A and B are shown apart, each in its own frame.
Chain A
Amino acid sequence: GENVEQHPSTLSVQEGDSAVIKCTYSDSASNYFPWYKQELGKRPQLIIDIRSNVGEKKDQRIAVTLNKTAKHFSLHITETQPEDSAVYFCAASRAAAGNKLTFGGGTRVLVKP
């Protein structure tokens, strides 16, 4: 089955700096890669996703890149703000497996004002 690894497990940045979280996946057939933000006690909230036919996607301060050859994808947050503090999860899925998500272990991001 799919295995997703996520690094780092914790990330502390100064407000205004950039944050980068990296994930690797094992199943080359995976074709959908979402990122979720989860605040304490809240539901995972989809913040951006990318499909395997695209190498990069951007939405305001958030961008995701995908390298299918190396089987890794990354989340980039620019101009970080205190409200970006949360746990971020990457995930991978493939259509042939019902699109069930396999999640990474999460990255706790702390943005210091």
Chain B
Amino acid sequence: DTGVSQDPRHKITKRGQNVTFRCDPISEHNRLYWYRQTLGQGPEFLTYFQNEAQLEKSRLLSDRFSAERPKGSFSTLEIQRTEQGDSAMYLCASSPMDTQYFGPGTRLTVL
């Protein structure tokens, strides 16, 4: 499968714990985006990378969130000191220019 992959698919954690998600984009795509989707809503932009450079972060992304894309390949999204409000589906998308292809998402549940 040469599509976007994400790991893990599901994560249950206790409030206050740190979690890290991984996204592997389509190999030739230089752009990588992170979105958050809550039940019944459309995805909301969090941040994006062009190669290894993080070019924009949404105001939704508090300082507990950090994202990296070392070497311009896979990306990680870390949430520190998780809160119940962080419970959501975290989606990754990759793009060669404007068209974005989404991964299956990581569903985070914070207890």
Task: Of the listed stretches A14-22, A59-67, A69-77, A99-107, name the one at the interface; the rest are far from the partner chain.
Answer: A99-107
- CB of B100 within 8 A of chain A? yes
Q: How many residues of B contact A (CB 8 A)?
A: 25
A106 near B56: Cβ-Cβ < 8 Å: no
Across-interface contacts of A103 in B (CB, < 8 A): 42-44
A106 near B40: Cβ-Cβ < 8 Å: yes
A46 near B48: Cβ-Cβ < 8 Å: no
Q: Which of A1-60 contact B (CB under 8 A)?
A: 6, 32, 34, 36, 42-46, 49, 51
Q: How many residues of A contact B (CB 8 A)?
A: 25
Tell me whether chain B's interface is mostly helix, strand or loop, or mixed.
strand
Q: Tell me, rounded to whole Å, the shortest Cβ–Cβ distance linking A95 to chain B.
A: 7
- Most-contacted residue by chain A among B41, B98, B99 (CB, 10 A): B98
Instruction: Tell me, in angstroms, the Cα distance from A45 to B100 when the chains sit together.
Output: 9
What is the interface of chain A, defined by CB distance below 8 A to chain B? 6, 32, 34, 36, 42-46, 49, 51, 89, 91, 93, 95, 97-106
What is the interface of chain B, defined by CB distance below 8 A to chain A? 31, 33, 35, 40-45, 48, 50, 55-56, 91, 93, 95, 97-105
